[in-house]
Amino acid sequence: MDEKTALEELQFIRKVIEDTKRNIFYNGRDYIFWGILVIVGMLGMYVLHLSRIYFNYVWIWAGLISIGWIFSIVARNKSIEKQPSTYAGKILGVVWLSAGIAMTTIGFAGPAFRIISPMAISPILSIIIGSAYFVSGVVIEEKWFRNLSFGWWIGGIILFIVTTMESFLIMAFLMLFFQTIPGFLIYKKYKQEINAQS
């Protein structure tokens, strides 16, 4: 490999990384939307339990998760129309798509087939979310984004220990501080970049 080829490849890699950063900042609204959905679900289940209103809570999640998937599909289609897809952006998309499919499958199929206890869903999902954040943070070279994974992993361990109804509050806390608020920060940065370009 000659020096010119090596330089061209380094420039290509740098462009991929920069394009990816712009791509993920655009998608900040997904983090906000999903964070709010899960917070609503967790707090709703907690309030229903305190009020002694019991029914199959899976219907709450069936509605919320369906809304989330519809939002993500529509938002993705709109983003493809507005800006070209990048290779690294596709990697991030696949990371979160696979994480989403895994979490949806675990959340619904696990308890339905009595393989996973309902109280084990939150800690398992926390571990998966943490892994997705770690990979995404490395790809876009954002340490603060990558470090969100440690909050999720620690939260997952806590949720393995706390198996009472208070686990709903813990999961809502995790979604607020390690998903929704970071989503607002990402969206704010995206808006700043848009304003700087105009």
| Domain boundaries, given as residue ranges, for the chain | 17-190
Q: Residue 132's closest CA among 167, 96, 104, 101?
A: 96
Q: 9 falls in which pLDDT band (50, 70, 90)?
A: confident
Residues 170-180 have a mean pLDDT of: 98
Q: Which two tokens stand for residue 163?
A: 């198996």
If one compares 55 and 100, the residue with the highest pLDDT of the two is 100
Q: How many CB atoms lie within 10 A of CB 148?
A: 24
Q: 198 falls in which pLDDT band (50, 70, 90)?
A: low
Query: What is the model's pTM?
Result: 0.86
> Which residues, other chains included, contact 192 with Cβ-Cβ below 8 Å and sequence gap of 6+?
none
Q: Residue 97's closest CA among 27, 157, 47?
A: 27
If one compares 197 and 61, the residue with the highest pLDDT of the two is 61
Alpha carbon 190 to chain centroid, angstroms: 17
If one compares 56 and 87, the residue with the highest pLDDT of the two is 56
Distance CA 128, CA 12 (A): 30
Residues 161-185 have a mean pLDDT of: 96
pLDDT tops 60 at residue 89: yes
Q: What is the pLDDT of residues 127-156, one digit of tens each?
A: 999 999 999 998 888 899 999 999 999 999
Cα-Cα-Cα-Cα dihedral of 131, 136, 138, 143, to 10°?
-90
